[in-house]
Amino acid sequence: MTKYCIVDDEPIAHRIIEGYCQNLPYLQKVGNCYNAFEAMQLLNQSTVDLIFLDINMPKLSGFDLLKTIPNPPAIIVTSAYQEFALEGYELNVSDYLLKPFSFARFLKAINKAINVNTSTTPTLSAATNKTHFFIKGDKKVHQVAFDDILFIEAYGNYTKIYLATEMIISHEKISFLEQVLPIADFLRVHKSFIVATKKIKTIEGNRIAILEHFVPIGQTYKNNLMKRINKL
C-alpha cells in the first residue's frame, strides 16, 4: 500500500486527485494539506510515500517546502504553470503534471513515481515489493500482475501486452513499460519486444518460444539475452 497526501491550496484539485486515486486500490490517502505548513505538520506525524504537490501556494511555495524536507518521498508536481518544470526536475521530482491532466496521464505519473520510490527509497512501500501495475487499455483500467505477463509487443503508437489468458492493447509506448517492469524479470530482446525471462520455453536461432508464441531476437539485443540466461 502506497500512502499519499495532497498539498494544494485549491479544494477542486484535491477532489480531482482523490477521484483518480479511488480507481487505484493500492493508494491510501493519509491527509489533505492546503498550505506548506499543514504539510510540514503531517509529514512530522505520519508516514508518507507519495506527495501530490502544487507550486503556487500562499506564504510558502511547493518548491520551498520541498527544499525543507531532508529525505522527501516520491513527488508528483501538479501545477498550472509549465515554466516551473525545469526547476522541478532539478529537485528530482518523479513527474510534473500540468493542470488540467487526464486520468491516463495521471496513471503514467503514478506508475513512474511508485517505481522510482520502490527502487530507490527504503520505505515501507518499498519493502512490500511491487507485484502489479495499472494500465489503461480497451477503454478500461486493467490491473496487471507482473507474473501474468508473457511478453510485450510494440504496435505502432500502442503496445500489446500478452498474458496467459488474454491480450491487452494499451496506449502506452513500449519504452514506458520497459521502465515500469522489474528489470530482474523482463528483458528487451528486440526493438519491438520485451519478454518475461521466466516464461521462455526455448531459444532457437533468432527467436524465442513462449507457450505457442514466437518472439524475434534483434541482433543488437542477443548478447544481453545470452548474458541474462546464463545467470538464471
One domain, residues 28 and 119: yes
Residue span of the structural domain in which 224 resides: 133-231
One domain, residues 120 and 153: no
One domain, residues 95 and 170: no
- In terms of residues, how long is the chain? 232
Q: Please tell me the distance from the alpha carbon of residue 221 to that of residue 195, in angstroms, as a whole number.
A: 12
Q: Please tell me the distance from the alpha carbon of residue 40 to that of residue 49, in angstroms, as a whole number.
A: 14
One domain, residues 97 and 15: yes
One domain, residues 103 and 151: no
One domain, residues 122 and 9: yes
One domain, residues 63 and 112: yes
One domain, residues 40 and 143: no
Residue-by-residue DSSP string for 106-133: HHHHHHHHHHHHHHH--SHHHHT---EE
Residue 115 has pLDDT above 80, yes or no: no
Q: Please tell me the distance from the alpha carbon of residue 48 to that of residue 217, in angstroms, as a whole number.
A: 42
One domain, residues 100 and 183: no
Please give the DSSP secondary-structure letter assigned to residue 16: H
pLDDT score of 128:
38
Q: Under a CB-based contact definition with an 8 Å cutoff, are residues 174 and 192 in contact?
A: yes
Q: Under a CB-based contact definition with an 8 Å cutoff, are residues 159 and 149 in contact?
A: no
Residue 117 has pLDDT above 50, yes or no: no
pLDDT score of 190:
95
Give the domain-ending residue among 87, 111, 127.
Answer: 127
Q: Please tell me the distance from the alpha carbon of residue 63 to that of residue 57, in angstroms, as a whole number.
A: 10
And the C-alpha cell for 67? 527544499
Q: Under a CB-based contact definition with an 8 Å cutoff, are residues 151 and 215 in contact?
A: yes
Q: Which residue has 503514478 as its cell numbers?
A: 110
Residue 147 belongs to a domain with what CATH number? 2.40.50.1020
Give the domain-ending residue among 65, 98, 127.
Answer: 127
What percent of the chain has pLDDT above 90?
A: 56
One domain, residues 162 and 53: no
Q: What is the pLDDT of residues 85-95, one digit of tens each?
A: 888 777 888 89
One domain, residues 84 and 49: yes
Residue 57 CA to chain centroid, in angstroms? 27
Q: Any bridge partners for residue 6, and if so which?
A: 32, 52
Q: What is the pLDDT of residues 204-231, one digit of tens each?
A: 999 999 999 999 999 888 888 988 877 6
| Closest alpha carbon to 159 in 145, 144, 177, 142 | 177
Q: How many domains does the chain have?
A: 2
One domain, residues 101 and 146: no
Give the domain-ending residue among 127, 157, 185.
Answer: 127
Q: Please tell me the distance from the alpha carbon of residue 10 to that of residue 33, in angstroms, as a whole number.
A: 10
Q: What is the pLDDT of residues 16-48, one digit of tens each?
A: 999 999 988 889 999 999 999 999 999 999 999
Residue 55 belongs to a domain with what CATH number? 3.40.50.2300
